[in-house]
């Protein structure tokens, strides 16, 4: 019964949002992708690369921390 209640609420919300919000045209989707989603993904990727690079530097002792974790795990 709990599963059916949760599924019913989820379906209600899905249909309510689907019928309430307007559909996007193709040009609006392309605009959204090029102007918002692509820059957001590139900034997220560059931030992740910067974090990994900084953790690899000896200033943060990132490599030594990883080695000590592996030594403690017995690998």
What whole-number distance in Å separates Cα of residue 41 and Cα of residue 60? 26
- Residue 31: predicted pLDDT: 92
Helix or strand run (H / E) with residue 63 = helix 62-73
Express each pLDDT in 14-66 by its tens digit. 999 888 888 888 898 899 899 999 999 999 999 988 887 877 765 555 555 55
- Residue 29: predicted pLDDT: 87
The full length of the chain comes to: 75
For residue 13, pLDDT beyond 90: yes
Assess contact for 12 and 4: CB atoms under 8 A: no
Distance, CA of 52 to chain centre: 17
């Amino acid at each position: 019964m709990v599963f059916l209640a949760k599924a019913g609420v989820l379906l209600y919300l899905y249909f309510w949002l689907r019928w309430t919000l307007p559909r996007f045209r193709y040009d609006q989707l392309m605009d959204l992708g090029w102007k918002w989603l692509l820059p957001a993904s590139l900034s997220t990727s560059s931030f992740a690369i910067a974090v990994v690079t900084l953790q690899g530097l000896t200033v943060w002792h990132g490599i030594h921390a990883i080695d000590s974790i592996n030594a403690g795990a017995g690998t």
